[in-house]
Amino acid sequence: MAKYQYDTLIIGTGPGGEGAAMQLAKHGQKVAVIERHHEVGGGCTHWGTIPSKALRHSVSRLVEYNQSPLFAEVQPAGRLTFTHILRHAESVIGKQVKLRSGFYNRNQVQVIRGEARFQDPHHLLVRQPDGADEVLSAANIVIATGSRPYRPADIDFSHPRVYDSDSILSLKHEPRSVIIYGAGVIGCEYASIFRGLSVKVDLINTRDRLLSFLDAEISDALSYHLRSSGTVIRHNEEYERVEPQDDGVVMHFKSGKKLKADCLLFANGRTGNTDRLNLDAVGLEANSRGQLEVNGRYQTAQPHIVAVGDVIGYPSLASAAYDQGRIAASAILHGEACLDNLISDIPTGIYTIPEISSVGKTEEELTAAKVPYEVGRAQFQHLARAQIAGSPIGCLKLLFHRDTKAILGIHCFGERASEIIHIGQAIMEQKGEGNSVEYFVNTTFNYPTMAEAFRVAALNGLNRLF
């Protein structure tokens, strides 16, 4: 390793790159991270997870205020605009950048500004902000370059009324209507945000139901509440062409329909950031989505080059990317002796209004596998804490084996769902008899809490057994 400047070079400072850098540095490696943006944090901090969730939080509080009977007779809140809530998001981003910068400083990880591309398997050419090039070498290289929104060539994203999920954060005008093309997680989240701001929303889904990977009951609940809030959902539609105009955008569909709105948010797919890495120089090739293939230790076809996060595809979650980076680092440090693995049941958090979170199997998967399961439900409207908080919408759903009582899946829809789910996840991950729905009946929960939903749901399910 002495012939190289670094033990490991990491391209990208998002969750995957940070996870790898911290693990390697804490084990004595000389590590540097290369970041093309002027601040650390990657897409997660600057364009994805953090800003969108900060926007969602602000809008959710506005919706809560407007729907609360407590404030029904007082002066209504002033009209909140997209520009207003962006200020809150920007303040959160600033705090996150400061925090993450501190991690690199304390662990003596050098942060190099610039854009990296491979020169050969152990050397990176880094184009610095002033245009100068620097060649860096390392025994190991981690690709953690993330992803970006997919942009079809036939849509003019330079037009001021056409946005993707990154550029929407630079929205300056206040639209009265928006077409959101793509009803995946990002599309559904932004549909909630814009409807909460009283913007007319047409949500275009290229499939026959929303978020088909979810338990069908939860997916149906999301559809119902989006529609009840005023969102128009159009299933099984594909665009034929997009016609930007001075005052808006007209979208023409293959079905013959056409819609006009003040702006378009195109949120249909993402592409791995590999096109500028010069992968040919190291004999690697990305797939049509710009993603790299890796093995169980996140190694590419070049064993000393590993890849983590969105750039390898599934599950494309910030939480999983950090763990992937940590596991990849352990593989670099320990080789074949590395025993770390990503957990099989990764929780999903979807920050619509209300939230959705799930972990484990769905009813459809268990039915297809012919697993004898039972269902326990707790409706939030029956919980004292939800009544106090004025958040009666939602439910918790437990799926468990009829014979062993083992928890097989947990699905939650409602405010704070992404927090609530982890209580059940902790029990579900226990081995043997530790994973039992009966735990929730035999323990004592604080009262009143949302966590009490687990006891209610467990009793509801156990009462169905005979």
The alpha carbon dihedral of 412, 417, 418, 419 has a sign of negative
Domain count, the chain: 3
Taking only the tens place, the pLDDT of each residue in 351-388 is 999 999 999 999 999 999 999 999 999 999 999 999 99
What pLDDT does residue 83 have? 83
Amino acid at position 81, single letter: T
| Pair 276, 133 in one domain | yes
What pLDDT does residue 74 have? 65
| Pair 280, 372 in one domain | no
**Cα–Cα dist 260/279, whole Å:** 41
| Pair 17, 134 in one domain | yes
Q: How many residues does the chain have?
A: 466
| Pair 242, 135 in one domain | no
| Pair 29, 110 in one domain | yes
Q: Where in the sequence is the domain holding 51, given as residue range(s)?
A: 6-148+271-337
What pLDDT does residue 1 have? 45
CB-hemisphere CA count at 13 Å for 200? 7
Q: What is the CATH number of the domain that holds 128?
A: 3.50.50.60
| Pair 22, 133 in one domain | yes
What pLDDT does residue 61 have? 86
Q: Which residues of the chain have pLDDT under 70?
A: 1-2, 69-78
The strands making up 356-360's β-sheet, listed across from edge to edge, are: 348-350, 356-360, 407-414, 394-401, 373-379
Taking only the tens place, the pLDDT of each residue in 312-333 is 999 999 999 999 999 999 999 9
Taking only the tens place, the pLDDT of each residue in 269-309 is 999 999 999 999 999 999 999 999 999 999 999 999 999 99
* Residue 76 burial (C-beta neighbours within 10 Å; 0-12, 13-18, 19+): exposed
**Cα–Cα dist 462/436, whole Å:** 11
**Cα–Cα dist 9/428, whole Å:** 37
